[in-house]
């Protein structure tokens, strides 16, 4: 999944542009991590947000760490509701779930393999987040899409 233009029909009671709490990891993420057998007690390490443009949907991402030290990336395109953790408007990446998340300098890189059964698949997307950069790169084509950050936390 990439964040260029995912769409869906909002469910009753949700808003396509509503933003979950940016000061802690989303409860939805916590529940999803636990449901997949990983420890919970998520701590927010980084939150970034971008507004959309004429050609790019706005997006936001959280990098969290569970009590066992596993890094977790939760991404959300803001043109659809934040009501699931996979596929339509959101993306959950973590070792033990799908892909992996690693520290990279002062930020993080979350990798989403196109083939989930092969975490080292050369055809994958890398999501880069830091306090100053928010972009993804589709590999092996090396196509980069950069977001303009408008909010950082905590």
Q: Which residues contact 27 (CB under 8 A, 6 or more apart)?
A: none
**120 belongs to a structural domain:** yes
Backbone angles phi, psi at 3, to 5 degrees: -105, 25
For 15-27, what is each residue's pLDDT tens digit? 344 456 678 999 8
pLDDT tops 80 at residue 126: yes
The pLDDT, as a whole number, for residue 80 is 80
**139 belongs to a structural domain:** yes
**32 belongs to a structural domain:** yes
Q: Is 114 helix (H, G, I), strand (E, B) or coil?
A: coil
Report CA torsion sign: 5, 98, 30, 28: positive
The pLDDT, as a whole number, for residue 119 is 64
**16 belongs to a structural domain:** no
Where is pLDDT greater, at 71 or 14? 71
- The pTM assigned to this predicted structure is 0.82
**22 belongs to a structural domain:** no
How many whole angstroms separate alpha carbon 10 and alpha carbon 3? 17
Domain encompassing residue 100: 27-153
Q: Which of 6, 26, 28, 129 is nearest to 78 (CA)?
A: 6
Number of compact structural domains in the chain: 1
pLDDT tops 50 at residue 9: no
**12 belongs to a structural domain:** no
For 25-41, what is each residue's pLDDT tens digit? 998 899 999 999 999 99
Which segment, 58-62, 85-89, 120-124, is predicted with the most confidence on average? 58-62
Token match 């659809």: residue? 80
**79 belongs to a structural domain:** yes
The pLDDT, as a whole number, for residue 57 is 82
């Amino acid at each position: 999944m990439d964040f260029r233009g995912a769409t869906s029909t909002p469910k009753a009671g949700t808003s396509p542009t509503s933003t979950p709490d940016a000061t802690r990891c989303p409860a939805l993420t916590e529940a999803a991590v636990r449901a997949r057998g990983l420890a919970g007690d998520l701590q927010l390490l980084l939150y970034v947000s971008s507004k959309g443009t004429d050609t790019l949907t706005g997006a936001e991402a959280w990098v969290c760490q569970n009590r066992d030290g596993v890094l977790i990336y939760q991404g959300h395109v803001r043109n659809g509701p934040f009501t699931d953790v996979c596929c339509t408007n959101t993306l959950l990446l973590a070792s033990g779930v799908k892909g992996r998340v690693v520290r990279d300098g002062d930020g993080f890189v979350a990798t989403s393999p196109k083939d989930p059964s092969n975490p080292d698949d050369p055809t994958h997307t890398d999501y880069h987040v830091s306090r100053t950069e928010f972009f993804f790169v589709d590999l092996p084509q090396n196509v980069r899409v950069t977001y303009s950050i408008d909010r950082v936390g905590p």
